Amino acid sequence: MSEQAVRLSILGRVQGVWYRAWTVREAEARGLRGWVRNRRDGSVEAVLVGPAPAVEAMIEACRKGPPAARVDEVLISDTAPTGVGAGFEQLPTA
């Protein structure tokens, strides 16, 4: 099965609503590697690496997010999986 790596920028009311913790839990449940972090501009950024069907399913989940979130837009770009460890982690704000 082919591996896919994408970078997401999630826009809307996505900080202060447990979006990062939710992302870690959802990504781990799908067997994905990568990371998630808040951005100073109010968005959330994530890198997802794993089997293409699992990545696509996670992208769809990110369009909704946790119950308290309001996702206005998810911007998606291909990326290289460099610097991604074996698991999925929450990084500090950048």
> pLDDT for 48-85, tens place per residue?
999 999 999 999 999 999 999 999 999 999 998 877 88
Fill in the amino acid letter for 33: R
Is the Cβ–Cβ distance between 58 and 27 less than 8 Å?
yes
Please state the rounded mean pLDDT for residues 28-44: 97
pTM over 0.85: yes
Structural domains in the chain, CATH included, are 3-46+54-83 (3.30.70.100)
DSSP 8-class letter at 91:
P
- d(C-alpha 73, C-alpha 71), whole Å: 6
Catalytic sites, residue numbers: 20, 38
Mention every residue, 6+ apart, whose C-beta is less than 8 A from residue 57. Answer: 30
Q: What kind and span of H or E run contains 10?
A: strand 3-13
